Chains A and B, each alone.
Chain A
């Protein structure tokens, strides 16, 4: 199968410090790829480079066969790269439902109609799909941290991405909420490939088909969950920072 996302020799330096150094990555349509590594491994940097909110200092990113290395984040989003943020980013002064409608990037006429008709129903379904019901008209700023995470996920899905980048979706969630998140992630459609950056290893092991491990900005390992669990490089990477 041809790759949806192909990252080659990607690097990002800050002066002498290499946050990311020559990383290669492949994601096929519908893939579930986990991205783990100790703090400072470069996971979020890699995700931001793919989304376009950071510019690489080396390497190339192709999405669906097209070189997107120099494209602005909004252009990449329109091509089908969706994302969520580590600190959930929602539009605080709009109701939850309008957050989804705006994120759906509807053509003008359908958006206006959307206040009543079909798109509104679709937005409601998306909200229900991430477990948010009864808060459609609540201002997003008044939602709890966990609800904002759910809302941002619905917003990312509203853009109908083919690749979804999830930046630590379990951060700040209580254990029961993490379980809800796990079943939610498992229910996402296979038309969307997912790259999951996460510290919560059990969540990643339960979700991903393949796992890539980064350490100090370098690629250490890619393999299935059992391979990753038993990989000496991975153990060394984690042991290196947390003896």
Chain B
């Protein structure tokens, strides 16, 4: 994996360059699947930021994801048709949700974080199912009007246009996060993950740094929620269920938890496995309907063959 890692700084622009022409290469179904992968990939990147970089393993990023999705859907229903406005509002809502819940998360460590974030995710999904006046309960919210990315641009009526919009947003957001992580901010987060006691002994406010990371990850997840609504024109509580949390964490583990680009690739692998291999009649149709089984097998293979994931950094203890 060392060659892959050495190419990491170039990997992300290269990935975008490869993905861009796919809009004209793939058929509608594949384009739509790839768009969904990018949306989940952005959610996975927010999970990787917390799990791999900041050392807070999370099963709860579906919570700000749902908050963002409902925010965007509500805006669409109130005739706010500018994509970027929906996106920023959803990101802000996701970040605000994370700011409010941060005290529950940033003082805990390890499996306790996993349990707290799991509870936050489940609670948010339950609220989305019960708060009918806002969310329409389990019926979900239809948000049918296609947005225009910016004022004056065409509306996203085709799968290709939607794909290009989602790709642009993911490229910008993940690109910015990568730059931030290459700055001192990245060094501070990694240091907090590596040795918290030493951080305190050096006078660094660890909980403060983790709060910033958690809020930023909430913003990313909220933005992913807005993209979900742009793609699906609909959101229901199930969009943020435990199966999605688990799927995304799986994508992060497979991609290499310390790498945001790895999270995108992992999301691609996981969704492709779920939606293509296990739903088409490959292998004589014997795999059809067995997506969880195939995903489980994939996970076990990855843990044994790639313990650090596709793009994960070698930790110094190895």
Contact = CB atoms under 8 A, between A and B. Distances in A.
A205 interface: no
Given A94-B190, A102-B202, A140-B316, A89 B195 contact: yes
A111 B183 CA distance: 9
B190 A93 contact: yes
Interface string A48-86: 000111000000000000000000111101100011010
A74 B204 contact: yes
Interface in B172-188: 183-184, 187-188
Contacts of A99: 191
A99 to B, nearest CB: 8
Interface in B191-233: 191, 193-195, 197-206
A62 B192 CA distance: 28
Given A139-B316, A141-B316, A142-B316, A94 B187 contact: yes
A92 interface: yes
A112 B183 contact: yes
Interface string B23-42: 00000000000000000000
A73 B184 contact: no
Nearest to A110: B184
Interface stretch (A13-21, A151-159, A195-203, A226-234): A151-159
Interface string A85-108: 100011111100011011101001
Contacts of A90: 194-195, 198
Contacts of B203: 74-75, 77-78, 105, 159
Contacts of B316: 92-93, 139-142
Given A102-B191, A141-B316, A142-B316, A89 B204 contact: no
Contact of B201 (A89, A92, A112, A142): A89
Interface residues on A, range: 35 or more
Interface string B278-318: 00000000000000000000000000000000000101110
Nearest to A92: B316
A92 B202 contact: no
Contacts of A111: 184
Interface residues of B, number: 23
Given A90-B195, A92-B195, A93-B315, A77 B200 contact: yes
A111 B184 CA distance: 7
Contacts of A108: 184
B202 A141 contact: no
Contacts of A101: 184, 187
Interface string A132-146: 000000011110000
A75 B205 CA distance: 8
A34 B265 CA distance: 55
Nearest to A143: B316
A102 B188 contact: yes
A229 B188 CA distance: 45
Nearest to A52: B200
A102 B204 CA distance: 9
A156 B201 contact: yes
B212 to A, nearest CB: 12
Contacts of B315: 92-93, 141
Nearest to A80: B203
B194 A83 contact: no
A156 B197 CA distance: 12
A77 B195 contact: no
Residue from A73, A85, A155 having most chain B Cβ neighbours under 10 A: A73
Interface in A161-195: none
A73 B190 contact: no
A94 B200 contact: no
B274 to A, nearest CB: 32
A78 B198 CA distance: 13
A87 to B, nearest CB: 10
A155 B202 contact: yes
Given A102-B188, A142-B316, 13 more contacts: A51-B201, A53-B200, A85-B201, A89-B197, A91-B190, A92-B316, A94-B190, A103-B202, A111-B184, A139-B316, A140-B316, A141-B316, A159-B202
12 contacts: A53-B201, A77-B200, A83-B201, A90-B195, A91-B194, A91-B198, A94-B187, A98-B187, A108-B184, A111-B184, A141-B317, A156-B201
Interface of A: 51-53, 72-75, 77-78, 82-83, 85, 89-94, 98-99, 101-103, 105, 108, 111-112, 139-142, 152, 155-156, 158-159
Q: Which 9 pairs between the two chains have the least Cβ-Cβ distance?
A: A141-B316, A77-B203, A89-B198, A91-B194, A92-B316, A78-B203, A91-B191, A73-B200, A103-B202
